[in-house]
C-alpha cells in the first residue's frame, strides 16, 4: 500500500491525532486499535468490504474498538443490524448470538472499514477528511491485491470512493447507512444483503459467512 500513500502523509495524520489528543484527550479508539480492522481481516483473507462512517462519536459508552459497528456492548444500531440478519434468514436469534464485538465477521473475511478510523467525542464525521487519502489507498490496494472482493457502501459518504471500484470485476452494493434507519425510528433497508453476500462469496470463494455464532 506504500505505492498509494506515503509515510510522510501517515506521519502527518498521526501528528495531528497526537496534537488533538493532548489538547482534549477525546480521540477514539485507542491508538493500538486504530488499525484493528486490518489485523483481524488481512487483505489476503478479505472477501467482503463494508465501508461507512463510524456511528459512535456521540456515545462512548459503546467504546469503538477499531472495527466498523463493533463495540464493547450492543447498542440500538447493532440491534437493528441483527434484526436485518433475522429478516434475511427468517430466524430468531438468541441474545447470546447478537454479539457487539464483530470479530467473528472479520475472521471470516469481512473487512469492516470505518471511513473515519478515529473520532472525536461529540463531533460527527470530524476525521473523515483526515483519513480520506488513506481510505482511498486501501481501496486501491484491494483492487490490485484482492480480486473478486465485494464492496458494500453504506451511506452517502462512502459513495465518494465508488469511482475507485472496478465494477466489471467487483460487485458493489450501495445501501443506506444503518444510522439513518435508527434516526428515523424504523428498520434498516438492508435489501437482504447478508443473504446475497452468502450466495456470492460461495460462488467466488467457495465459502459462506456465518453472521451469528
Which phi and psi angles does 28 have, rounded to 5°? -130, 155
Q: Which residue is listed with cell 500513500?
A: 5
Tell me the per-residue pLDDT of 12-51, one tens digit each, with 9 for 90 and over: 888 888 777 766 668 888 889 999 999 999 999 999 999 9
Counting DSSP H helices and E strands in the chain, the numbers are: 8, 6
Mean pLDDT of 127-132: 94
Residue 3: pLDDT band with limits 50, 70, 90: low
Distance CA 114, CA 109 (A): 16
Percent of the chain with pLDDT over 70: 92
Distance CA 160, CA 153 (A): 10
* Range with the poorest average pLDDT among 3-7, 144-148, 184-188: 3-7
Find, among 49, 50, 78, 51, the residue nearest to 62 by Cα. Answer: 78
Could you tell me if 75 and 102 are in contact, meaning their C-beta atoms sit under 8 angstroms apart?
Answer: no
Distance CA 123, CA 125 (A): 6
Mean pLDDT of 201-207: 96
Could you tell me if 175 and 152 are in contact, meaning their C-beta atoms sit under 8 angstroms apart?
Answer: yes
Mean pLDDT of 162-166: 97
Tell me the per-residue pLDDT of 51-95, one tens digit each, with 9 for 90 and over: 999 887 666 556 778 999 998 778 888 999 999 999 999 999 999
Q: What is the pLDDT of residue 23?
A: 66
Where are the chain's structural domains?
A: 30-205
CATH topology of domain 30-205: Uracil-DNA Glycosylase, subunit E (3.40.470)
Amino acid at each position: 500500500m506504500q505505492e498509494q500513500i506515503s509515510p510522510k502523509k501517515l506521519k502527518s495524520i498521526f501528528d495531528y491525532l497526537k496534537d488533538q489528543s493532548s489538547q482534549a484527550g477525546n480521540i477514539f479508539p485507542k491508538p493500538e486499535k486504530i488499525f484493528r480492522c486490518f489485523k483481524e481481516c488481512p487483505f489476503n483473507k478479505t472477501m467482503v468490504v463494508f465501508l461507512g462512517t463510524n456511528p459512535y462519536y456521540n456515545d462512548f459508552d459503546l467504546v469503538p474498538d477499531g472495527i466498523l459497528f463493533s463495540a464493547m456492548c450492543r447498542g440500538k444500531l447493532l440491534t437493528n443490524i441483527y434484526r436485518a440478519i433475522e429478516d434475511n434468514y427468517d430466524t430468531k436469534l438468541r441474545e447470546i448470538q447478537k454479539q457487539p464485538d464483530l470479530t467473528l465477521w472479520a475472521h471470516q473475511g469481512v473487512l469492516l472499514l470505518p471511513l473515519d478510523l478515529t473520532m472525536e467525542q461529540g463531533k460527527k464525521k470530524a476525521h473523515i477528511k483526515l483519513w480520506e487519502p488513506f481510505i482511498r489507498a486501501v481501496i486501491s490496494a484491494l483492487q490490485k491485491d484482492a480480486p473478486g472482493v465485494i464492496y458494500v457502501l453504506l451511506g452517502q459518504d462512502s459513495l465518494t470512493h465508488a469511482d475507485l471500484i472496478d465494477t466489471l470485476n467487483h460487485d458493489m452494493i450501495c445501501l443506506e447507512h444503518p444510522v439513518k434507519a435508527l434516526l428515523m425510528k424504523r428498520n434498516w433497508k438492508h435489501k437482504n444483503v447478508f443473504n446475497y453476500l452468502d450466495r456470492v462469496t460461495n460462488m467466488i470463494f467457495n465459502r459462506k459467512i456465518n453472521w451469528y455464532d
